[in-house]
């Protein structure tokens, strides 16, 4: 039987975690936001407050909604609070060992009925399940940045995810007014596999002198109505992040088209990581 989610614990109050906490609280769900220290968790809480203030300024959020949302969120620097939630979502860095350690600790802290979600953008849910005593309640809940704006959530079922867990997760995603897509666990899920492939091919085209980065992006933005071309997007995501995912997909899928192009390897080695360092396929400063 699926369960109704009314209290969520979000672990990791960074770029993604604070957004997941915000959209959950806006939908009337009580939220506890956890980070490695209470100070870091509080920083996430302040980011939520700033987003909501901005929403009020733009008249997308009423002052009453802002106040009610903030009142539903508490924060902590300790996992012990996770026990009070019926869904725990982790949004800690993309390192399998870190996530494994966290889930092992969560198994000690929360009862077996609590649903567990991972916001991983590429790691295998089945691999994350492998060491767990109760793997059937773990699934992927892959949100997109910025969470309060982007509608999509990939819901990924690993080999051992139960039907009930999947149904509960889908109900939660709809409740927070996001659109779920259901994906069987496989490298890169749907979005990273397709998105990264397009980006890598665009890089190879720049490398071959087929067209400039600007013109490749323009071609897809105007010709295919992509909101943003693949190279500009790569600059925003970070070339280092994309390189890591490409290497991972190349290794896992064993497919040549995921081999990172030399231009990507070179730019990352030179510290040209995209917007965050001032240069990637574009100059940002
Ligand atoms: P981030 O670096 O902004 O935030 C991670 C947070 O986790 C930090 O505040 C850090 O202090 C905290 N943390 C680290 N270890 C912890 C622990 N053991 N317990 C509690 N808190 C801990 O990272 P970001 O970008 O939010 O990414 C988080 C996850 O979301 C990753 O798996 C990433 O692949 C995924 N993701 C990221 C997207 C993005 O655009 N940034 C998009 C979709 C998924």
Mean pLDDT computed over 216-230: 97
Is the distance from the beta carbon of residue 91 to the nearest atom of ligand 1 less than 6 Å?
A: yes
Position in ligand 1 atom list of the atom nearest CA 16:
26
pLDDT of residue 219: 98
Give the residue, out of 16, 233, 274, with the most ligand 1 atoms within 8 A of its beta carbon, to mutate for a pocket test: 16
Position in ligand 1 atom list of the atom nearest CA 17:
26
Q: Is the pTM of this model over 0.85?
A: yes
The CA distance from 150 to 160, in Å, is 28
pLDDT at 134 over 80: yes
Which of helix, strand or coil describes residue 98? helix
The CA distance from 282 to 280, in Å, is 5
Mean pLDDT computed over 208-230: 97
pLDDT of residue 177: 97
Which of helix, strand or coil describes residue 254? coil
- For residue 199, the CA-to-ligand 1 centroid distance in Å is 23
pLDDT of residue 2: 79
| Model pLDDT for residues 52-65, shown as the tens digit of each residue | 999 999 999 999 99
The CA distance from 146 to 181, in Å, is 18
Is the distance from the beta carbon of residue 280 to the nearest atom of ligand 1 less than 6 Å?
A: no
Mean pLDDT computed over 198-220: 98
- For residue 26, the CA-to-ligand 1 centroid distance in Å is 21
pLDDT over 70, % of the chain: 100
pLDDT at 257 over 80: yes
Mean pLDDT computed over 127-138: 97
Mean pLDDT computed over 191-201: 95
Position in ligand 1 atom list of the atom nearest CA 122:
34
| Cβ burial 222-256 (10 Å sphere, 16+ → b, else e) | eeeeeeebbbbbbbebbbbbbbbbbebbbeeeeee
Position in ligand 1 atom list of the atom nearest CA 94:
32
| Model pLDDT for residues 150-185, shown as the tens digit of each residue | 999 999 999 999 999 999 999 999 999 999 999 999
pLDDT of residue 105: 97
Q: Is the peptide bond prior to 277 cis by the omega test (within 30 degrees of 0)? A: no
Give the contacts of 210 (CB within 8 A, at least 6 positions apart).
Answer: 216
Is the distance from the beta carbon of residue 168 to the nearest atom of ligand 1 less than 6 Å?
A: no
Mean pLDDT computed over 236-260: 93
pLDDT at 42 over 80: yes
pLDDT at 1 over 80: no
- C-alpha atoms less than 13 angstroms from C-alpha of 220 in its C-beta half-sphere: 19
Where residue 122 falls among pLDDT bands split at 50, 70, 90?
A: confident
pLDDT of residue 235: 96
| Cβ burial 43-82 (10 Å sphere, 16+ → b, else e) | bbbebbbebbeebbeeeebeeeebeebeebbbbbeebebb
- For residue 174, the CA-to-ligand 1 centroid distance in Å is 23
Position in ligand 1 atom list of the atom nearest CA 120:
32
Where residue 232 falls among pLDDT bands split at 50, 70, 90?
A: very high
pLDDT at 49 over 80: yes
pLDDT of residue 94: 86
Is the distance from the beta carbon of residue 35 to the nearest atom of ligand 1 less than 6 Å?
A: yes
Is the distance from the beta carbon of residue 90 to the nearest atom of ligand 1 less than 6 Å?
A: no
């Amino acid at each position: 039987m699926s369960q109704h989610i009314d209290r969520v614990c979000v672990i990791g109050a960074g770029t993604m975690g604070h957004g997941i906490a915000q959209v959950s609280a806006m939908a009337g769900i009580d939220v506890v936001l956890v980070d490695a220290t209470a100070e870091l968790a509080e920083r996430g809480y302040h980011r939520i407050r700033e987003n909501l203030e901005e929403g009020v300024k733009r008249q997308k959020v009423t002052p009453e909604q802002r106040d009610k949302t903030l009142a539903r969120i508490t924060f902590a620097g300790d996992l012990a609070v996770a026990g009070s939630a019926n869904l725990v979502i982790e949004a800690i860095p993309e390192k399998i060992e870190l996530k494994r350690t966290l889930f092992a600790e969560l198994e000690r802290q929360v009862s077996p009925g609590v649903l567990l979600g991972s916001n991983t953008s590429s790691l295998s849910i089945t691999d994350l399940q492998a060491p767990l005593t109760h793997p059937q309640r773990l699934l992927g809940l892959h949100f997109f940045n910025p969470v309060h704006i982007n509608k999509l959530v990939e819901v990924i079922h690993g080999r051992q995810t139960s039907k009930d867990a999947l149904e509960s997760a889908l109900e939660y995603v709809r409740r927070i007014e996001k659109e779920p897509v259901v994906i069987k666990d496989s490298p890169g899920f749907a979005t990273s596999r397709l998105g990264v492939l397009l980006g890598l091919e665009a890089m190879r085209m720049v490398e071959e002198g087929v067209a400039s980065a600007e013109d490749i992006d323009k071609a897809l933005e105007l010709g295919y109505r992509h909101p943003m071309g693949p190279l500009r997007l790569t600059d925003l995501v970070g070339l280092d992040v994309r390189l890591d995912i490409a290497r991972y997909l190349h290794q896992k899928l064993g497919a040549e088209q995921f081999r990172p192009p030399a231009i990507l390897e070179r730019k990352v080695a030179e510290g040209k990581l995209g917007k965050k360092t001032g240069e990637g396929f574009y100059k940002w400063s």
